[in-house]
């Protein structure tokens, strides 16, 4: 149980284009989903927290207009990187929990490379 998937696992795009990453909880309802970014040999940095049906809460320094998050259902959240640039290249990981105080389960991550 507690499986989280992400799609795509890997994406390469040109600078200036937008990329959408999906995060799905496969066997539980995720009231809260989190989006993280991880650069090579570094730790996970939280970007934003989203509750189903509500606007996402972004961490300080994360541009909400650049990283659009939608959490329209209890099993799906999407992260759209708009007008991507090479510095946005990173490993993006989502996690999901079924409620406040419950364990976060992580997806396998999406490797984004912006040329």
Partner 1 sequence: GESVGLHLPTLSVQEGDNSIINCAYSNSASDYFIWYKQESGKGPQFIIDIRSNMDKRQGQRVTVLLNKTVKHLSLQIAATQPGDSAVYFCAENSGGSNYKLTFGKGTLLTVNP
Residue 98: asked if its preceding bond is cis (omega within 30°), the reply is no
What tokens does 98 get?
Answer: 């079924």
Task: Indicate the pairing of strand 105-106 with strand 4-7.
Answer: unpaired
Q: Is the sign of the CA dihedral 85, 113, 19, 59 positive or negative? A: negative
Query: Residue 110 CA to chain centroid, in angstroms?
Result: 9
User: Looking at 11, 51, 62, 98, which residue binds partner 1 (CB under 8 A)?
Assistant: 51
With CB under 8 A as the contact rule, the residue among 77, 105, 112, 114 that binds partner 1 is: 105
Kindly determine how many residues on this chain lie close enough to bind partner 1 according to the rule CB under 8 A.
27
Helix locations, 18-97, DSSP H: none
Listed residue (63, 86, 90) closest to 16, CA to CA: 86
Q: Is 100 in the site for partner 1 (CB under 8 A)?
A: yes
CB nearer to partner 1: pick between 82 and 89: 89
By the rule CB under 8 A, 102 interacts with partner 1 = yes
Q: Which of 78, 107, 112, 114 binds partner 1 (CB under 8 A)?
A: 107
Q: Does 32 bind partner 1 (CB under 8 A)?
A: yes
**Hey, what are 85's tokens?**
């640039």
Query: Of the listed pieces 14-22, 61-69, 75-83, 104-112, which binds partner 1 according to CB under 8 A?
Result: 104-112
Site for partner 1, rule CB under 8 A: 2, 4, 6, 32, 34, 42-46, 49, 51, 57, 93, 95, 97, 100-109, 111
């Amino acid at each position: 149980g507690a499986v989280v998937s992400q799609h795509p696992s890997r994406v390469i795009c040109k600078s200036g284009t937008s990329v959408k990453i999906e995060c799905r909880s496969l066997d539980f309802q995720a009231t809260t989903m989190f989006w993280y970014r991880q650069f090579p040999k570094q730790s996970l940095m939280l970007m934003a927290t989203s509750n189903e049906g509500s606007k996402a809460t972004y961490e300080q320094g994360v541009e909400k207009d650049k990283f659009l998050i939608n959490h329209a259902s209890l099993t799906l959240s999407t992260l759209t990187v708009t007008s991507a640039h090479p510095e946005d290249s990173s490993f993006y990981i989502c996690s999901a929990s079924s409620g406040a105080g419950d364990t976060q389960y992580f997806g396998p991550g999406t490797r984004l490379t912006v040329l």
